[in-house]
Amino acid sequence: MTETDPLARTRRDYDRVADIYDDMVRHGREDALATGMITAFATLVSAECDSGVVLNAGCGPGHWTDWLDRFGVSASGVDLSPGMIDIARRYRPDLSFEIGSLLGLPAVDATVQGVLAHFSVIPYTA
Ligand SMILES: C[S@@+](CC[C@H](N)C(=O)[O-])C[C@H]1O[C@@H](n2cnc3c(N)ncnc32)[C@H](O)[C@@H]1O
């Protein structure tokens, strides 16, 4: 990837703000709308699926992956930004966090019971 590549730019930009973003989502005001939506999603997944994991796609520093796990839904995270993934792994070394892109997700099959992509689908322009 080059710096003119939209993915490379996105990765670079989120790497730069990873610590600030982590501080904001963990210590800022609770996002009641997001919590409500993700609670509904997690409840549905729990009711419909008896195995598998939720893939948190574009997981950032992993706070929603952590939240899903505490809610009782197995979850793993993938993100483009190594800086974000470092933070996620630091908080929850027991969960799986991988560097990767939504444009080429690994093995989304029957082992995945749902995908949470919260604020991570970014339309790219040429
Ligand atoms: C605004 S943050 C949202 C993080 C988290 N999902 C949340 O709800 O707070 C967007 C995240 O999406 C990631 N991201 C953006 N484009 C991506 C892509 N193509 N593949 C994987 N992650 C991507 C960024 O690295 C960043 O961590």
pTM of the entire predicted model: 0.93
Asked if residue 77 has its Cβ within 6 Å of ligand 1, the reply is no
Query: What's the chain's average pLDDT?
Result: 91
75-79, strands of its sheet edge to edge: 97-99, 75-79, 53-57, 112-116
Chain position carrying tokens 């996105």: 10
Q: Which amino acid is at 93?
A: P
Summarize pLDDT for 5-50 with one digit per residue, the tens. Answer: 889 999 999 999 999 999 999 998 888 999 999 999 999 999 988 8
pLDDT band at 4 (very low <50, low <70, confident <90, very high): low
**Centre of ligand 1 from the C-alpha of residue 78, in Å:** 9
Of all protein residues, the one whose alpha carbon is nearest to atom 9 of ligand 1 is 60
The residue among 38, 37, 57 whose CA lies nearest residue 106 is: 57
Summarize pLDDT for 69-92 with one digit per residue, the tens. Answer: 999 999 999 999 999 999 999 999
**Architecture of 6-116 per CATH?**
3-Layer(aba) Sandwich (3.40)
Asked if residue 6 has its Cβ within 6 Å of ligand 1, the reply is no
Where are the domains positioned within the chain? 6-116
Q: Which amino acid is at 35?
A: T
Q: Which atom, in ligand 1's list, is nearest to the CA of 102?
A: 20
